[in-house]
Amino acid sequence: MTHTLIVFHSGTGSTAQLAEAARQGAAEIGTASLLRINGADIVDGRWRNESLLAELDEADAVLFGTPTYMGGPSAQFKAFADATGGRWERQALAGKLAGGFTIGSSLNGDQLQTLHYLSILASQHGMLWCNLAVTPGRDPLGRNPLGTQLGVTAQNVEGRVADAYIETARYLGRRIARMASRYEAAVNVEETV
């Protein structure tokens, strides 16, 4: 059974809502857990919590989530990402599936730039990126209302996250867990041949 890890920072709670929805979706397929990035783990400007980093090693798929602040990921998320450098050197995360989500207070706010950052972080680690694959405007459930295929983008309006964004995050969690399950099955078949 595959395990999906949702790694996220949430400043106001809206990113946490998306993370929980993604966890629920992934849990429909396999096991899933949340890893919340806390500012208390940043010491002298560096993120330090090896036990949480070790959880990355055990996951089959990782969803990265961060609010978009000033056109990019939060400083707390960036500190976490920088702390994964040792794993990059060993390519410890290579071959795992990755995806991402972000939220801001405006409809755009350069959120796509944040998803680009997350996908490049995954690529640096040799991870395989899982896109959204929901056609905006044609989805009967109203998912992906902002039309971003790279991952989930959402808007926080006075602390409220609209149902369409929650459903989109739930879908991404389910999608990446399903893909990780298929990937694991293909690798298992390949190893028996």
Range(s) of the domain holding residue 47? 3-192
Whole-angstrom Cα distance, residue 57 to residue 18?
Answer: 23
Q: Which of 97, 28, 90 is nearest to 60 (CA)?
A: 97
Domain count, the chain: 1
pLDDT at 89 over 80: yes
Coil, strand, or helix at residue 88?
helix
* Contacts with 126 (C-beta within 8 Å, 6 or more apart), sequence order: 91, 93, 94, 95
* Comparison of pLDDT for 78 and 159, the residue scoring more: 78
The CATH number of whichever domain residue 173 belongs to comes to: 3.40.50.360
The 10s digit of each residue's pLDDT in 92-144 is: 999 999 999 999 988 777 899 999 999 999 999 999 999 999 988 889 999 99
Q: Is residue 31 pLDDT above 90, yes or no?
A: yes
Give me the amino acid identity at 110. Answer: D
Scan for tokens 């629920």, then name that residue.
24
| Separation of alpha carbons 115 and 4, rounded Å | 19
Give one DSSP letter per residue of 13-40, joined into a string: SHHHHHHHHHHHHHHTTSEEEEEE--GG
CA dist 26 → 94, 133, 171 (Å) = 20, 16, 8
H or E segment and range at residue 55: helix 50-58
pLDDT of 186 above 80: no
Query: 190 pLDDT band (50/70/90 cuts)?
Result: low
The residues near 77 (Cβ < 8 Å, ≥ 6 apart) are 8, 9, 37, 64, 66
pLDDT bracket for residue 187 (50, 70, 90): low
pLDDT at 13 over 80: yes
Q: Indicate the residue type of 7.
A: V
pLDDT at 107: 77
pLDDT for 44 equals: 87
Reply yes or no on whether the pLDDT at 3 is more than 90: yes
